[in-house]
Structure 1
Amino acid sequence: MKTTLQFMIWAICCSLLFENPIFAQSASASLFGVVRSAEGETLPGANVIIKNESTGFTTGAVTNLDGRFQINQIPLGGPYSVKASFVGEGSLEKKGYQLNLGDQVRVDFDLRDGEGTLETIVISADDYAPNRVSPIGSGTRLGMTEIKYMPTNGRSFQDLANLAPTTSPGGSLAIGGTRVSSTAITLDGGNQRFMMNGGLISQYTVSMEAIREYEITTNEYNVMEGRQGGGAINVVTKSGTNEMSGSAFFFNRNQALTADQDYIGRPINDFNVNQYGFSLGGPIIKDKLHFFAALDFEDRSEPFAIIDVRDSQTERLEQITQQSLDRFINILEERYGLDPNRQQTGLFNRRPTNRTVFAKLDWQINETHKLTFRNNFFWGENEFVIGGDATALADSRGDIKIFGANSQLALRSTFSSKLTNELKLQYLRAQRDFPARSFAPRGFVGIESFQEDGTRLFRQFQFGGNRIAPEEQGEQQFQLINTTYLQTGKIFWTFGTDNMVTFTNTLNTNEQGGLFQFASLDALEEGRAFQYSRLVPNAPDGRYAPKLRQTALDLSAFVQAETSLTNKLSAMLGLRWDATVFMTTPDFNPLVQSELGRRTDVVARDYNNIQPRFQLTYDFNEDQRNVLKFGIGGYSANIVHWAQLSNILQSGTILTDLLLTGADVPTPNFPNYIADPSTVPGVPVGGTGRSPYINLIGEDFEAPYTWKGNLAYRRFMTNEFYLGANAYFARTINNYRYQDLNLREDFAFNLANENNRGVYANPDQITPVNLNNPGVVVYPINPSVVNANENLGRVLELNGDSDIWQRGIIFESGYIFRKGGSITGTFTVNRTEDNNSYNCCIARTSVLTAIVDDPRDLAANRGGANTDFRHKIVLFGTSPAFKNMRISARYVGQSGLPWSPLVFGDIVGDGAGLLINANKRAFIFNPETIRANPNATPFETLIAEGMEGVLGNSDNIARGLLIDNLGEIAPRNEIYNPFWHNVDVRFTFNIDNTIIKNMGKGNLELIAEVFNFTNLLNSEWGGAPTVPGGNQVLLQTLGLDPIALQQGNPQYAYRVNPTFGETVRANPPYQVQIGARYTF
């Protein structure tokens, strides 16, 4: 790092010898250029004045010694006029510039001789075509035309993320396959991330009516881009102008405008979506004070399936027969207090609502200062959003309620032609609650059933309460950003600071409600649970542990120098520093200190995130139409706040970890628990609970740090058509994950028949197969036997020792229509690998990365990241208006997410006590090897029969991988869900005064949108084939094989899942949305 800093200081000093400016991308736009005389000589000291003709905003600059000028932080919009003048050379004015997010528009002037002369040139779209497309090599930008006309499912800006060539499948905000928490999200330059989990609190955070532009950046090296790893999502809102304008809109989707049934034959009933609202903007004082406001409401009625069994196909999908499901419900109603009048399975009618209200004021105080005040509010609710840990009944799910408020004050000040400053103050409040539908303990039951053709089905089902709900997540945040732009001689400087303080107030009830586990329906009927566990509050505030409160600081400072090394070659060099400091200290636990030498009162702090940035841009013709760009830089990502909250809650002093097995398990009395939650079993009288479960921060913990770079080239072949390519790479270190400090160092024995997979418990400590009634054993190993220190339970330490490797290439092409509209196409080849895909939130989930045996062995776990994709094709565009009609469409084709063949059941012991039972990669047994063994046990023969079935199943998309890896443990994340295609289209017909003369300046748009358009053409098209979680399980654990053990071969008995690798089509069928928008 020292060498890097020395290089940067040297480079900045060298750049002072060069002259011409270049420009960085920001939340506004820039204008630059050269002023020359009629003889072609540059004119130092020429005056350049710009004016927004629609708002009156005016600012200017003076050319430097080379006759060059630059104007930064220009508010978006237009049309802008740019006038250059020089004594004795006259004046030249160019009009018609529309400035978009991040634009760097070149405007050159050749003045004519003659004092007092003024020539005016009106600019056409062709004159600045390079600025109507996304910035080269840095990201994807959608302007006002795309925002207005692009079909957008749900009218949510999150849906627009799919149009970026580097975003992961399914509307994920993961960029390039990296973690979602490494994506920065801003609104008008202010943070919009929910700091607890690092993502959006809701997909409806701001109205589409209020959005002017939307951008996803991946390789932007401006130092103002921070707190990210994969990239950033930037949203810029609209402002009012001198012309009063507004809109009123209504959109509807309903049952008559969609398919009769989904891809697996379930009927689509009670489906209706209404979205409606208005916007209004204009002058309060012309050229001085403007306003803009938007209101957007959504009301839905939609079917939602919960264990919806209808026929043999849905029985296989849900992994339970109708007969077994009926018996399950009857037992719960008769013995476990389940209300017979409350629907638990089938199709439900959900009625989610979402509301957003936006308001903005822009005040041009004087020629020096412009003040902007913006408010944004949103709230909403939905049912059944919080799912179960197993396949859950309706009562075992949780609902959601959200509220958010965001206020921002921005002051832009032009102190001179060489000095501009922008100050932003923001307040953000977010609240997300998960109301519970039942306060009873959870219950898990393994249900085995057989279809009429003999197909065996098995799945673990959940009843009772929910692990997460009830929960309350609240945040308040204050942010201060100050950025200064200064020209000193031939260098353009940017320097500033961006700081946040976040206050968190959270009720976390995770696993405090209790959990009974039953091996079968018979055991459930008899009230015979094999295990009961609960995190019991030591000093409850009501039923649960007290609320968690913490304060966190995020600090930053940055400096950047920009110049041109030659007329064609530009350089940017910058340095950014970030720090994260959690202020709230967890309790000190002396037991952990004495036994392991670790302190639980350590907080996450990282002060040393120095991030150098460097970029070169070569403009072959000095017109932005033939450009080569290279960049490289360091980026420090945010730390999700859940990590520190977990350490506060799980210090070992707030909760007692209770685990009872065998005869110690209390007889469940769910009717009593439902009537009086205080009767839920806690620590038995005279008991102490088991050894405490601990979360703590490693002393060497650091925030994730990413080095990334790219080389991009773009060329306009004509004024309208361009081609380009962008090769990129990234390497992330210090990715956080939890490591169990109290897991035994060495294996107790190895499974010789599974490529010597290690096991942490001795064979006599592992549950054997029940020979009378073999069934799935979820936790065959007692957690206490795998702990290195018997006085402690699992001790999970947060460290930053995992990695991400990413590389890819993007090919792009586009066409810009002269009369408005454009077409953009990209093809991406991507590969993202990691050795742990933990993103958020509670510590237990960090061990969900599919492993062989030792979770500490990161090298053995390297494979495709959980959010990786291999190929992606994007094509979207909007036509020019033709006879009052406009057509817009988007196509996204993308390979699915990766997955691994798994074992259901904790066969190693690393997940015991963490309630993790499906994180081991399966050994791929070769049936021929088993058949050739004369001493094969009946359970091995059962495996051979099952493997022959899945290897011969033509519906198993993983057949090839299984065959290539027979006799090996499955590699991690090398199976990808099939490539998926989706097409959305939109038709707009505009009724204006050319059709109805009395319309005046008003316009009525009639709109029809079709989502999943190809499914409308053919009912078999448009499905997203996905292997659900249950079908990713290859082997189900029955316990230790007692016959093999007698032969001296300790090994597990398994059942092979016959539906392994089978896909279902998971996305909705086509939906038609009709709407109308009146604008004036």
Structure 2
Amino acid sequence: MQKRLLLLVMLLLVMTTSAMAQITTSGISGKVTSQGEDVIGATVTATHVPSGTVYRAVTNIDGRYTIQGMRVGGPYKVSVAYIGQKTKTFENVTLRLGETEDLSCSLQDDSKELQEVVVTGSAGVNATKTGAATSLSSKQIADMPSITHGIADVARLNPQLTTSNNGAMSFAGTSNRYNSFMIDGAANNDVFGLAADGANGGQAGAQPVSMETIEQIQVNVAPFDVRQGGFTGGAINAITKSGTNVFHGSVYGFGNNQNLIGSKYPLADGGYAPKYNKQQEYNAGITFGGPIIKDKLFFFANYEKTNKTYPNLYTLGSESSAVDAAKASDVLAKIADLAQRQGVNYPTALSTEDIYTRSDKGGLKLDWNINETNKATVRWSIVSASQLNNAGSRKALNGSSYAYPFKSVTNSFIAELQSRLSPSVANEARASYVRVRDKRDINGEYPSISVNNVGGGSVNLGIERSSMANRLDQDIYTLEDNLTWYKGNHTYTFGTHNELYKFTNLFIQDLFGSYTFKNYDAFKSYYEDYIAGTIDPAKSYLNQYRYGHANTDVTGDPRWEASFGAAQLSFYAQDKWDVSNNFQLTYGLRMDMPIIFDAPTANEPFNQYAETRGWNVKTNQKLSSTPLWSPRVGFRWDINHDHRFILRGGAGVFTGRIPFVWISNNYSNTGIQLSTYNSYKTNGLDLLLDPNAQEANASKLKATGSQTINVYDRHFKFAQNLRFNLGFDFNVLGINWTAEAIYSKTLNDILYQNLAYEQTGKTYGQVYGSAGAPVEDNRPLFAKTTNGTPFANIYKLSNTSKGYTVNLSLKAEKHFNFGLDLMASYTWTRSMSVNNGGSSVAESNWRFNYTYRNSNDPELGHSAYNVPHRLQASAYYHVSYGSKKEWQTTVGLIYQGRSGSPYTLYYYGDVNEDGANGNDLFFIPTDAQIDRMRFDETDFSANALTRAVFGDGFTAPKLTEDMQRQLMKYWIGHDSYMKNHRGEFYKRYADNLAFEHHFDVHFAQKYSFKVGGQMNSLELSFDIINVGNLLNKDWGHTHGDGFGVYYNPVNYQKNGHYQFTGGYATRDYSDYYSRWRGQLGLRYTF
């Protein structure tokens, strides 16, 4: 495979004439006239003042000029000169990333003397964007209220973007896994698809880049420039700072402790969460840049260190934990006793260690002005991070070994060459290499034990099942080149963007065995029978048992790794046509072709079996390298020729990547290298605490199948959608307005099926058991079709074209000359999908795709990213004062209000017998149906619902059948969605958690002074996140940390009976994010 990869790289280097997927520069263009006539041969000179970098162009036969490949930012001085005309000069021009500023002008005739006409100010209002996009400068980044100092905090100003607490970003209602994130043109999003925030280092809690090094960020949702691709969600493109002719830099530090974080917020079950007794966070660094050779060679370097610790609040008996402390203690004692009796060293200590996140970032960038027509850039950066994960939650007490440090190191190397080959031809070439090394650093080898429903949560010990053998190496190469030809009023672009990947993934779930008990009583029953020597082999004490191992006779290695190579090649052509002075049309065609170099291992018995079933799949089937075409067209119409009323938009196809972990599943699960056992029928199985003794249980499960097979449709295609955008930018009464409409229709998205189960043709018409009441919408039943074969589950990945998103937004901005800037926006979103792809594992993507009809053909429903309403507003006030204006004060306020995360209600149990425990949507019964339901007694735990129904102080040893009926009736009758949908199934993500309001504040006081003739400054800042919670402990709460949450209010019993486990889980708050947080900062700039 490596030889083929090298051959392809060499071939691309030879054949490439153009390539540019993500844009790293800016440009200027315009038309030069004099007395209504086109000026031919006028010289346009643009000088980047800080570095002395010069760019030149000459107007063509139509009086037009274009300069591309220019440094982002500024200020620039641009002059237009022609013999016999007054020279016209634009000063303090600032260029936006990825945009071409229109600097058209009319020269005045003056034959007596040459004079200069100077225009001061930025040309930003003339940017020539056609689609929905937002550009953010380093000043905006610095003034943003932030504690994480991350991309999501800055990018949230885009109206189409919704962010979750864990940093995940959803653009216009699409999955965060379908985004693209580039830094200086190199892919820095997690292309394998494991990090919630979508960036390299995200699993270790690290930001992919120091925000102090960012010059500009561009956020794109619907760019109709065919050069931009690799996403069907949104694209974030960041450019780092460069050196100049003046030595400059900064030293900075930001930090807080437990005194700058909220002490209280209300718990859903009553009372308040405790104050953090220990918490610390700091972020400190240095940047330094300057000339190596004046006007010629420059450098910029940085180093940043981040350290964050906060206490683990979810400890035994703590106020924040919903787990019953007495029962949890009993579980720990009994497991310790079992370990002693089995002669095994098994850890039963709970995690109490402080949660930490640590990272180090560094980088060096060189810019070389080779001559006026060639400019080169080279950059290296590193991010090394570690974070303690899985230490516990409100509903989980986790053992000290169950938590694990996650370690991640990312190195990036980029080289770029900008060339002007002739007055009408320019070229950009770029190559990059990104090296990512991630691993879960576990502490020992122990089976996983989970005891659920211990009061209001679970107790989890041993090693978490997905961490037992988990490491990932990624090597990502990018080759790009972009050729631009300016001819008349046309700008032609021919390009290619090529990404090549190599993945090595160690991932063996349940290597030491995983045991799940349904509740405390089931575990207690097992322990008592074990001690008494009366274990009943016909009784299922366990709810689930899982075990996986490498077949060493095949692999030769018990820690076998899946490895494969892939590529995504892109070629495109485009014409940007200035039809007239006020109308621009852009149209082009892009072709993306995914390639998988290596075939998974052939499993001939399975392949033969699949052929007899007519499934048309094989384990060794490679994806076909099918070209995916993306035609696009965009326009921009300056209606009155004055940039006050601009209508823009377009239509086009966007092709993205998919997380390569979904492809990796097929290499790990051929049924040859790994054997896996997953059984809910656990009678006769023992709780074996020795990780090397699991074969004793596995041998009893041979008949149920030991092979989990992952296959994909041969013609499976990467994600694609058809996107339409219409925008209107206008200025009325000095207010800049933007109205935006985006509609995206799914062309290719994911569909998972389990071929081992098929519908029987029967329906579960009596949803509540044999004595229950039939309902109109019967739930189809499934049956396993692979009994008697070694194939336990067969997960197939294919495509669906079902799904769409609609996004409407309106934004208003106003600048006042006395230093006040105001902004407000409203966004409405509807997002519909078949599968959200929320997991990295095929089993979970199928199993947790909640449905009520057919888990192999799921219905279209709301997506996990459907956040219908979003409001945001900002107010910034900047003022300078003092005799020399040496004092500057900045005050900023940002408001974010939005619908809560979508949520789903489901049964805990397998209602439709499709082999999946917990993917069946909840049926909302009427009061009459509740009266006919049968409930088994369950543990009592006081909460807000029991207090609402039975009053404060009520307690009972158990929740009786009648008590559960009362609780369910009250809960349904007081829920705004369910009370209007009784007698129906709960639709997937049909409702959203409570609306959230958050206010963030930024204060900064700067003092500027000269040192050696150069301006220096010292700035003190204070940021407060969620300031509402500071003003009132009952304000500013947030629910959950990610998109798409789910709750199981009812346990489904095999005897057709139920247990109502609670209904107010949707009121649970995120602990850390529901508190106000403050941070002090000090920055010295020189």
Q: Normalising to structure 2: TM-score of the pair?
A: 0.86
Q: CA RMSD in A?
A: 3.0
Q: Which of 272, 296, 311 is residue 280 of structure 2 equivalent to?
A: 272
Q: Which of 635, 643, 646 is residue 624 of structure 1 equivalent to?
A: 643
CA deviations over 1:607-636 (Å, ceiling 9, x no partner): 221000101111023233320002110011
Q: Does 1:33 align with 2:38?
A: no
Distance in 2 of aligned mates of 1:1019 and 1:930: 38
Q: CA deviation at 1:761?
A: 6.0
Q: Does 1:406 align with 2:389?
A: no
Q: Does 1:535 align with 2:559?
A: no
Q: Which of 649, 653, 660 is residue 668 of structure 2 equivalent to?
A: 649
Q: What one-letter code is carried by the residue in structure 1 that aligns with 2:830?
A: R
1:100–1:756 CA distance, 2 compared to 1 (3 A): closer
Q: Does 1:344 align with 2:350?
A: yes
**Residue of structure 2 equivalent to 1:891:** 895
Q: CA deviation at 1:692?
A: 2.1
Q: For structure 1, which runs of at least 5 residues remain unmatched after alignment?
A: 1-22, 450-456, 763-784, 1042-1051
CA deviations over 1:688-744 (Å, ceiling 9, x no partner): 7725221011122111111001111111235x5311211110011221232112212
Q: CA deviation at 1:948?
A: 3.6
**Aligned 8 A contact 1:103 1:131 in 2:** no
**Residue of structure 2 equivalent to 1:376:** 381
Q: CA deviation at 1:1064?
A: 2.9
Q: CA deviation at 1:94?
A: 2.4
Q: Which of 379, 396, 399 is residue 402 of structure 2 equivalent to?
A: 396
Where 1:89 maps in the other structure, the secondary structure is coil
**Aligned 8 A contact 2:390 2:402 in 1:** no
**Aligned 8 A contact 2:494 2:573 in 1:** yes
Aligned residues: 991
**Residue of structure 2 equivalent to 1:473:** 472
After TM superposition, the structure 1 = structure 2 runs for residues 865-1014 of structure 1, keeping only pairs within 5 Å, are: 865-883=863-881, 884-910=888-914, 912=915, 916-931=916-931, 946-953=964-971, 959-993=975-1009, 1001-1014=1015-1028
**Residue of structure 2 equivalent to 1:780:** none
Q: Which stretch shifts more, 474-483 or 638-647?
A: 638-647
**Residue of structure 2 equivalent to 1:229:** 232
**Residue of structure 2 equivalent to 1:1049:** none
**Aligned 8 A contact 2:94 2:124 in 1:** no
1:116–1:876 CA distance, 2 compared to 1 (3 A): farther
Distance in 1 of aligned mates of 2:478 and 2:112: 49
**Aligned 8 A contact 2:397 2:458 in 1:** yes
Q: CA deviation at 1:153?
A: 2.3
1:612–1:1031 CA distance, 2 compared to 1 (3 A): closer
Q: CA deviation at 1:381?
A: 0.5
Distance in 2 of aligned mates of 1:24 and 1:853: 42
1:518–1:939 CA distance, 2 compared to 1 (3 A): closer
1:137–1:1077 CA distance, 2 compared to 1 (3 A): same
CA deviations over 1:1034-1064 (Å, ceiling 9, x no partner): 21112223xxxxxxxxxx5443534454443
**Aligned 8 A contact 1:374 1:408 in 2:** yes
Q: CA deviation at 1:365?
A: 0.6
Q: Does 1:695 align with 2:710?
A: yes
Where 1:1032 maps in the other structure, the secondary structure is strand
Q: What one-letter code is carried by the residue in structure 2 that aligns with 1:710?
A: N
**Residue of structure 1 equivalent to 2:795:** 796
Distance in 2 of aligned mates of 1:391 and 1:605: 46
Distance in 1 of aligned mates of 2:83 and 2:1013: 49
Where 2:277 maps in the other structure, the secondary structure is coil
**Aligned 8 A contact 1:613 1:633 in 2:** yes
1:820–1:66 CA distance, 2 compared to 1 (3 A): farther
**Residue of structure 2 equivalent to 1:500:** 499
Where 1:466 maps in the other structure, the secondary structure is coil
Q: What one-letter code is carried by the residue in structure 2 that aligns with 1:980?
A: E
Distance in 2 of aligned mates of 1:1060 and 1:108: 60
Distance in 2 of aligned mates of 1:92 and 1:213: 28
**Residue of structure 2 equivalent to 1:511:** 510
Q: Which stretch shifts more, 82-91 or 964-973?
A: 82-91
Distance in 1 of aligned mates of 2:168 and 2:680: 40
Q: What one-letter code is carried by the residue in structure 1 that aligns with 2:125?
A: P
**Residue of structure 2 equivalent to 1:639:** 658
Distance in 1 of aligned mates of 2:306 and 2:822: 30
Q: CA deviation at 1:128?
A: 2.8
Q: What one-letter code is carried by the residue in structure 2 that aligns with 1:894?
A: R
**Percent of residue pairs bearing the same amino acid type:** 22
Q: Does 1:89 align with 2:85?
A: yes
1:591–1:405 CA distance, 2 compared to 1 (3 A): same
Q: What one-letter code is carried by the residue in structure 1 that aligns with 2:472?
A: Q
Q: Which of 192, 210, 213 is residue 210 of structure 1 equivalent to?
A: 213
Q: Does 1:550 align with 2:564?
A: yes
Q: CA deviation at 1:478?
A: 1.1
1:220–1:1000 CA distance, 2 compared to 1 (3 A): closer
Q: CA deviation at 1:418?
A: 0.8
Q: CA deviation at 1:839?
A: 4.2
Q: CA deviation at 1:399?
A: 2.1
Distance in 2 of aligned mates of 1:1000 and 1:49: 27
**Aligned 8 A contact 1:399 1:437 in 2:** no
Q: What one-letter code is carried by the residue in structure 1 that aligns with 2:896?
A: V
Distance in 1 of aligned mates of 2:481 and 2:298: 24
CA deviations over 1:928-982 (Å, ceiling 9, x no partner): 2454x6xx756699777535424424xx897122211212211221110111111
Q: CA deviation at 1:174?
A: 2.0
**Residue of structure 1 equivalent to 2:138:** 144
**Aligned 8 A contact 1:786 1:909 in 2:** no
Q: Does 1:286 align with 2:294?
A: yes
**Aligned 8 A contact 1:828 1:872 in 2:** yes
Q: Normalising to structure 1: TM-score of the pair?
A: 0.86
**Aligned 8 A contact 2:255 2:281 in 1:** yes
**Residue of structure 2 equivalent to 1:767:** none
Where 1:643 maps in the other structure, the secondary structure is helix
**Aligned 8 A contact 2:101 2:124 in 1:** no
Q: Does 1:238 align with 2:254?
A: no
Q: Does 1:523 align with 2:528?
A: no
Q: What one-letter code is carried by the residue in structure 2 that aligns with 1:82?
A: V
Q: What one-letter code is carried by the residue in structure 2 that aligns with 1:851?
A: T
Q: Which stretch shifts more, 66-75 or 417-426?
A: 66-75
Distance in 2 of aligned mates of 1:730 and 1:1039: 43
CA deviations over 1:451-476 (Å, ceiling 9, x no partner): xxxxxx5x444222211114111101
CA deviations over 1:134-170 (Å, ceiling 9, x no partner): 9575122211211122112211223323332222341
After TM superposition, the structure 1 = structure 2 runs for residues 442-481 of structure 1, keeping only pairs within 5 Å, are: 442-449=448-455, 457=456, 459-469=457-467, 470-481=469-480
Q: What one-letter code is carried by the residue in structure 1 that aligns with 2:699?
A: P
Q: What one-letter code is carried by the residue in structure 2 that aligns with 1:208?
A: M
Distance in 1 of aligned mates of 2:346 and 2:641: 76
1:1079–1:681 CA distance, 2 compared to 1 (3 A): farther
Q: CA deviation at 1:24?
A: 12
Distance in 2 of aligned mates of 1:626 and 1:636: 31
Distance in 2 of aligned mates of 1:1030 and 1:106: 46
**Residue of structure 2 equivalent to 1:1038:** 1053
**Residue of structure 2 equivalent to 1:13:** none
Where 2:140 maps in the other structure, the secondary structure is helix
1:706–1:285 CA distance, 2 compared to 1 (3 A): same
CA deviations over 1:399-427 (Å, ceiling 9, x no partner): 20010000100000011221110000101
Distance in 2 of aligned mates of 1:380 and 1:998: 39
1:663–1:322 CA distance, 2 compared to 1 (3 A): closer
Q: Which stretch shifts more, 625-634 or 46-55?
A: 46-55
**Residue of structure 2 equivalent to 1:18:** none
**Aligned 8 A contact 2:218 2:238 in 1:** yes
**Aligned 8 A contact 2:707 2:792 in 1:** yes
**Residue of structure 1 equivalent to 2:952:** none
1:270–1:620 CA distance, 2 compared to 1 (3 A): same
**Residue of structure 2 equivalent to 1:592:** 606
Where 2:591 maps in the other structure, the secondary structure is strand
**Aligned 8 A contact 1:95 1:120 in 2:** no
Distance in 1 of aligned mates of 2:129 and 2:624: 35
Q: What one-letter code is carried by the residue in structure 2 that aligns with 1:89?
A: Q
Q: CA deviation at 1:339?
A: 7.9
1:542–1:115 CA distance, 2 compared to 1 (3 A): farther
Distance in 2 of aligned mates of 1:686 and 1:1056: 31
